Amino acid sequence: MIALEARALSKSFGGLRVSTDVSFAVEAGERRLIIGPNGAGKTTLFNLITGELRPDSGSVHLLGRDITSVPSRRRAHLGLARTYQIITLFPQDTLLGNVMLALLGLSPLRWNPIVRLTSQSALLEEPREALARVGLDGIADRPLAETSYGERRRVEIAMALAQRPKVLLLDEPFAGLSIPERRQVLELLLAIPRDTTIVMIEHDMDVALEFAERITLLHFGAVIVEGTRGEVVADPRTREVYLGA
């Protein structure tokens, strides 16, 4: 079964074509890596998939359903979650508060203006579990402002995991991390069960290649090469476009 599919997605900002006829399909449970030089249109592709940008033409399909005209917020309810390349968290809240907000987004309780948020035990347990999965349960009650960059990256992932997505989009989850931290995040990503399909954008080849099963190479907004890890790495066009050799 195909979990996520893009069909002939195109997008222009004025005269600049940022996505040209991008098509790809990700099988359920697959680990897909999207690579490409800066400005290749990788994050734009994510924004088209999540609905933050509307494509000029083409369509997006989630679990067999055409979601091209589904608003961004509804896509989260259909099982699509993402993390951001530039960390976008809630700085005035605790780590637990951040993850709770992720969980609350899918709960009807979010409209309740009367009950106390902190007395909703169902909303407390799952975020603690999600924080435990990324190894941050020890500092769950610490304000986000007092955490390190590497910890925030992991909070980003915990927020996405708390929503139990069917398809998870990771936008450069290793960006700005030290080498030991990269290993840590990689271990954590490898531990995500196969009922979650993962598409990852990443520059760091060492860790990303270990993670990916199939790779899609973008260049100037178009798919240049796609195949298994071995095929794409061996392909001369990859060397030409990306590795610059």
Partner 1 sequence: MRRAALALAIIALVTLPYWIGGSYYINIASQILIWAVFALGLNVLVGYGGLVSLGHAGLFGTAGYAAAWLVAAGVGQLASGVGAIGLTVLMSALFAVLALRATGIGFLMITLALGQILWGIAYRWISLTNGDNGINVSARPMPLGLSLATPSAFYIATLMVFGLAVAAMASFVASPFGACLRGTRDQARRMTALGYDVWLIRFLAFLFSGFWTGIAGLLFCYYDQFVSPHLLTLSSSAEVLLMVISGGSGTLLGPIAGATLVVAMKTVASAYIERWNLVLGAIFVAIIMLMPEGLVPGSQRLWRWARRGRDLAAAATSR
Binding site for partner 1 (CB under 8 A): 50, 52, 72-74, 76-77, 81-82, 84, 88-93, 97, 100-102, 104-107, 109-118, 120, 123, 159, 163
Handedness of CA 152, 153, 154, 159 (dihedral sign): positive
Judged by beta carbon, residue 97 or residue 235, the one nearer partner 1 is: 97
Helix (H, G, I), strand (E, B) or coil at 221: coil
Helix (H, G, I), strand (E, B) or coil at 116: coil
The distance of closest approach from Cβ of residue 111 to partner 1 in the complex, given in angstroms and rounded to an integer, is: 6
Instruction: Tell me if 168 sits within 8 A of 196, measured CB to CB.
Output: yes
Residues in CB range of 194: below 8 A, 6 or more apart: 29
69, two tokens = 């005209």
Judged by beta carbon, residue 47 or residue 197, the one nearer partner 1 is: 47
Judged by beta carbon, residue 91 or residue 230, the one nearer partner 1 is: 91
Instruction: Tell me if 165 sits within 8 A of 79, measured CB to CB.
Output: yes
DSSP 137: G
Judged by beta carbon, residue 76 or residue 217, the one nearer partner 1 is: 76
Judged by beta carbon, residue 109 or residue 179, the one nearer partner 1 is: 109
Judged by beta carbon, residue 9 or residue 103, the one nearer partner 1 is: 103
The distance of closest approach from Cβ of residue 196 to partner 1 in the complex, given in angstroms and rounded to an integer, is: 16
The distance of closest approach from Cβ of residue 21 to partner 1 in the complex, given in angstroms and rounded to an integer, is: 25
Backbone φ, ψ for residue 184 (5° rounding) = -60, -50
The distance of closest approach from Cβ of residue 4 to partner 1 in the complex, given in angstroms and rounded to an integer, is: 16
**DSSP string for residues in 56-80:** SEEEEEETTEE-TTS-HHHHHHTTE
The distance of closest approach from Cβ of residue 70 to partner 1 in the complex, given in angstroms and rounded to an integer, is: 12
Q: How many alpha carbons lie under 13 Å from residue 82 in its C-beta half-sphere?
A: 23
Judged by beta carbon, residue 163 or residue 238, the one nearer partner 1 is: 163
The distance of closest approach from Cβ of residue 133 to partner 1 in the complex, given in angstroms and rounded to an integer, is: 18
Distance from C-alpha of 209 to C-alpha of 42, rounded to nearest angstrom: 17
Distance from the first to the final alpha carbon of the chain = 37
Is residue 122 within a helix (H) or strand (E), and if so which, with residue range? helix 121-133
Place of tokens 């359903």: 65
The distance of closest approach from Cβ of residue 145 to partner 1 in the complex, given in angstroms and rounded to an integer, is: 12
